[in-house]
Chains A and B, each alone.
Chain A
Amino acid sequence: MTVRSVLKRLGELVIVLLVVSFGTFMLVSLMPGDPAVSILGEGHSQAEYAAVRADLGLNDPVFERYLHWLGDALSGDLGTSIVPPYVDVADRIMAALPVSVELAVLGMTMALAISVPLAMISAYRAGGRLDRMISAGTFGILSVPSFLAGLLIIMVFANQLGWFPRAEWSRLSEGIGQNLYHAFLPALTIALAETAMFTRILRNDLIGTLNEDYILAAKAKGMGTMHILFSDALRPSSFSLVTLMGISLGRLIGSTIIVEYLFALPGMGSLIIGAADNGDFVMVQGAVLVIAVIYVVVNALIDISYGYLDPRIRRAHV
């Protein structure tokens, strides 16, 4: 990866972030009615409304407001929630973010851990009975929306069987055992859709790889099946896995939001959905901005790292 291409990528990133932040900022203007009214409620004097509007800077030109807002955001000030209990947005987000990140990472890890062996089993005897069953299973799972799956899982495992808790959370700082116990079921729910997708795509990639000549050559060297699968077939296919992770990031975030809400966990999900329900657009703006930035940056990192991982691409630039 040349320095030039990395810089170019970063440049695009900055532009996108600016556009996204501007869009988030302009979200408020989509609202019908007067923001001052939504904040104060009906029945106040015009002077009070005017004061609120001036406070929000609504009389200044758009661009100035935007830059002002952006400046505040970059220095860590995302405003104050407009509904009681009027918390500081940045504080709330900082408290909720670690929960979501942990769940997302756990979910992704679980998905990888399950999908890789499943895909290898499928590809090894492609067209066989196990393969067709796994194929049908993953297709079915992909057709179940994550909120429905989450609901069913909660009903069965948390409520009916009582194996795992719901609506409780134990922070990492309070001990990893308890933390994982609380995180297991939600992470599993998040992992479902990702597992199905990864298994399908990895399986197809592996089948393609297994048809290559070097697999035959490895076989002709007397290498065992396990060795061929892991050492020869998995490596080239793992690059597509990395790309996959990047592509599925968006869906992962969406799943995490919904699952957190379902399990009533104190993460970004409950935060943003609660805020949306209350019409607390300042909170929503802050949350959207933070999530979008994380998403864009992680995507860019995955793109750049892909260039390093694949030796074909890496060495070509040497």
Chain B
Amino acid sequence: MSEIVERPVVTAATADVEMASVHPDAEVVVRRRQPKAWRGAVLFVLGLAIALVAVLAIRDNGWIQLLVVLVGFGVWYAGASELGRARFGPGFDLLGWLCTAWLVVLVLAAIFAPLLPLGESEDLTKSILEPANATPDLLSDHPLGTNNFGLDMLARVVYGARASLVVSIGAVLIGMVIGGAIGVLAGYYRRAIDAVVGVGTNSLLAVPPLILLIALATVLEPTLYNIALALSLLALPSMIRMARANTLTFTQREFVLAAKSMGASSGRVMLREIVPNVVLPLASYAMVMVSVLIVAEASLSFLGLGVQAPSPSWGNMIAEGEGEAFKQHPHIVLVPGAVLFLTVFSFNLLGEKARKRFDPRAAKL
């Protein structure tokens, strides 16, 4: 699993760089240019203007339009970031907010998909009359284009999000609940239960994750339920270990001993004292886990072993664009690819921030 740990940057004690951490009172900060609100505002508006011009004016060449939009976005980003820092202080992280916004929009779109004015995502009979392989054009009927069968890409992306999110979040929840319970029991009772759980976890970890998924996909029907169950097996070992480790720490603490001495039963102790303390580190880990599972589900669907076409999943949408199709209609791969990347990126970023904040190591102090 991705262990993206950030340590606070002090300095590197090498030839030309300072060692400012030598004095007990010293605290080091890397200096940046002072943010100015006016400069931020100017760049903000300028960026928006560039992007708008691109969308409205450059309608014939998709690549040029995309390039100019990206340039505009870059300018807007610099401006918004500076504005934010000027207004809210140097700790303002625009990227974090953008990622949060992206995820919120994605989740809301996935939840309310049936109510949204989207094109046809799945039913081939209804899309027969639509143009096939239409290029993305933000102002047309098909803002993100259509695929080989005339199905609307935007709609497919949204419904694909539905599938991916349901499966991944479901799997993580299952992993958290069951894995957490097993871990707490193992950490609390130890001895025999712990040994068995240990062997089980090690065995599960002994099979490389993708292999496990492929093996299960061979014998199970590819329903959303089965896919979620299979994915939860990926999350299970780490959840068990984390819950167990945290339980071991907390079982020694005074408040648990106090509850026991007051005659509380084991179950009550576990539920009231230990579980609340285990939930937080587990939850912050779960966030990082979600992105891993989204990628796993996408990989499975890409290989044809997950969500089956024509039901959309980002993975099988990307698979559609393989080979010749990519040369002529790259958007079939790039649209779901970009969405997948942005989603995984956002989960990773926010997951890392969450871990920094609620670092289990710090919480144990």
Contacts and interface: CB of A to CB of B under 8 A. Distances in A.
Q: Do chains A and B touch in the complex (CB under 8 A)?
A: yes
B20 to A, nearest CB: 12
A3 to B, nearest CB: 22
B219 interface: yes
B214 A148 contact: no
Contact of A201 (B5, B15, B330): B5
Contacts of B203: 16, 19-20, 23
16 contacts: A30-B220, A31-B219, A127-B30, A139-B4, A139-B348, A144-B341, A145-B299, A155-B333, A159-B327, A200-B4, A228-B14, A251-B208, A254-B209, A258-B299, A275-B218, A288-B215
A146 B344 CA distance: 12
Contacts of A16: 199, 202-203, 206
Majority SS at the chain B contact face? helix
Interface stretch (B73-81, B262-270, B274-282, B300-308): B300-308
Contacts of B12: 123-126, 207, 210-211
Interface string A291-303: 1100110000000
Given A24-B215, A200-B4, A219-B13, 19 more contacts: A12-B202, A20-B207, A28-B219, A32-B221, A126-B9, A126-B11, A127-B30, A144-B344, A145-B299, A155-B333, A201-B5, A215-B13, A250-B209, A254-B208, A254-B211, A257-B210, A257-B211, A276-B215, A287-B211
B10 interface: yes
A220 to B, nearest CB: 10
B103 interface: no
A40 B3 CA distance: 47
Interface in B332-347: 333, 337, 340-341, 344-345
Contact residues on B (Cβ < 8 Å of other chain), bracket = 35 or more
A127 B5 contact: no
A105 to B, nearest CB: 16
Nearest to B346: A143
Given A19-B203, A258-B299, A276 B30 contact: no
Most buried by A among B203, B315, B348: B203
Contact of A258 (B3, B19, B210): B210
B229 to A, nearest CB: 11
Nearest to B15: A225
A286 to B, nearest CB: 11
Majority-rule SS of A interface residues: helix
A125 B17 contact: yes
A211 B348 contact: no
B206 A207 contact: no
B295 interface: yes
Given A124-B14, A126-B9, A142 B210 contact: no
A273 B214 contact: yes
A89 interface: no
A254 to B, nearest CB: 3
B108 to A, nearest CB: 22
A39 to B, nearest CB: 13
Contacts of A275: 218
A208 interface: yes
A219 B206 contact: no
Contacts of A124: 12, 14
Name which of B203, B215, B302 has the most chain A CB atoms within 10 A of its CB. B215
B298 interface: yes
Contacts of B315: 147
A149 B346 CA distance: 18
